[in-house]
């Protein structure tokens, strides 16, 4: 059962670890200090979570790969790639998740925490969002399904050097995952049915459609994005998908610049619902907050349309 209105917060920040090298060629100097880097960023987000709960937030969504800088820029050499792979950790028993579980229990808040995951069974790495309930328990995770590599007018990027796409092994027929999809879980929580789509996933129409079809009310869409085309679509995609599927989308983007790459991330985090963008609340730097009426998610903005009822999926696929 969702609670309405539901106060939701997103973090909008960047790497806060101070002693970053000035040149990418010197990133090797971080060897042996990655745990300090992780701790600094987790501590920063712990402060933001506490600031959000002090203002009544019932759910807090953290940014993509929040415990690290965005390390997939400028096609790093193999030694740099190997360095960052040391940051990957278990999505249930790793230090970041354990600390956030204790915090979620103490603050009685639901957390959506995107981390760099190392699967202990397979040895594979994933870009993974862990969902933690207000009891401090991990209730599930979502693994990014689309992994980008390419370049725009500002920078090149290649995430495939660090992690692969979801292996589709997340299916769980029992609650709290109520989805029938092995790739797109939807979690029943005390504060609504929550799902996640990470960054590049948002550009593919089947992602939001699958999440909505499997019962999602609120989709968190954490991202690290930049560039003219990305900014243009960022302002459009969530509003269209929210109206089309009768859901709320919480889009969070990194904000600021990170040494030594010095790539500017534009932020512009926002919420979208079937009726448009909910009004943002006053919040301290690093947070974006809004009150969401999940009970009204099925209303397509007062249009009178019933898109779910009237769709004809049998005629859409190419034959």
Catalytic residue among 14, 134, 141, 144: 144
Catalytic residue among 64, 117, 159, 239: 64
198 Ramachandran zone, left/alpha/beta (phi>0; psi -120 to 50):
beta
> Please, what is the Cα angle at 93 between 87 and 98, to 5 degrees?
90
Catalytic residue among 14, 89, 141, 199: 199
Give catalytic status of residue 144 as yes or no: yes
Give catalytic status of residue 199 as yes or no: yes
How far apart are alpha carbons 26 and 259 in whole angstroms? 11
Among residues 38, 48, 163, 31, the alpha carbon closest in space to that of 98 is found at 38
Contact (CB, 8 A) for 154 and 227: yes
Instruction: Report helix, strand or coil for 170.
Output: coil
Structure tokens at 1: 């059962």
Structure tokens at 151: 């370049």
Please list the alpha-helical segments (H only) found in the chain.
34-54, 78-85, 95-107, 205-213, 228-245, 307-310
Burial class (CB in 10 A: 0-12, 13-18, 19+), 50: middle
How far apart are alpha carbons 179 and 203 in whole angstroms? 21
Contact (CB, 8 A) for 249 and 272: yes
The per-residue DSSP string of 249-283 comes to EEEEE-EEEETTTTEEEE---EEEBTTBPPPBPP-
Q: State the catalytic residues.
A: 64, 144, 199
């Amino acid at each position: 059962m969702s609670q309405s209105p539901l106060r939701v917060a997103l973090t909008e920040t960047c790497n806060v670890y101070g002693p970053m090298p000035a040149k990418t060629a010197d990133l090797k100097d971080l060897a042996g200090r990655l745990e300090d880097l992780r701790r600094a960023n987790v501590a920063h987000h712990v402060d933001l979570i506490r600031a959000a709960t002090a203002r009544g937030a019932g759910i807090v969504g953290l940014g993509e790969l929040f415990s690290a800088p965005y390390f997939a820029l400028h096609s790093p050499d193999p030694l740099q790639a190997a360095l960052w792979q040391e940051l990957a950790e278990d999505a249930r028993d790793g230090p970041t998740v354990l600390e956030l579980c204790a915090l979620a229990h103490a603050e009685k808040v639901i957390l959506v925490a995107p981390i760099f995951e190392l699967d202990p069974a397979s040895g594979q790495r994933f870009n993974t969002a862990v969902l933690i309930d207000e009891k401090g328990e991990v209730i599930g995770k979502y693994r990014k399904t689309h992994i980008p590599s390419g370049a725009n007018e500002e920078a090149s990027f290649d995430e495939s050097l660090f992690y692969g796409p979801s292996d589709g092994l997340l299916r769980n027929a029992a609650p709290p995952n109520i989805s029938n999809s092995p790739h797109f879980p939807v979690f029943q929580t005390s504060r609504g049915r929550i799902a996640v789509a990470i960054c590049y996933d948002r550009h593919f129409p089947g992602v939001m459609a699958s999440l909505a079809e499997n019962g999602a009310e609120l989709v968190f869409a954490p991202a690290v994005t930049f560039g003219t085309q990305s900014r243009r679509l960022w302002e459009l995609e969530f509003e269209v998908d929210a109206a089309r599927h009768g859901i709320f989308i919480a889009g969070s983007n990194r904000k600021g610049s990170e040494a030594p790459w010095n790539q500017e991330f534009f932020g512009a985090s926002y919420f979208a619902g079937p009726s448009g963008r909910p009004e943002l609340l006053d919040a301290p730097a690093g947070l974006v907050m809004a009150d969401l009426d999940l009970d009204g998610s099925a209303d397509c903005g007062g249009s009178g349309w019933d898109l779910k009822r009237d769709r004809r999926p049998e005629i859409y696929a190419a034959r």
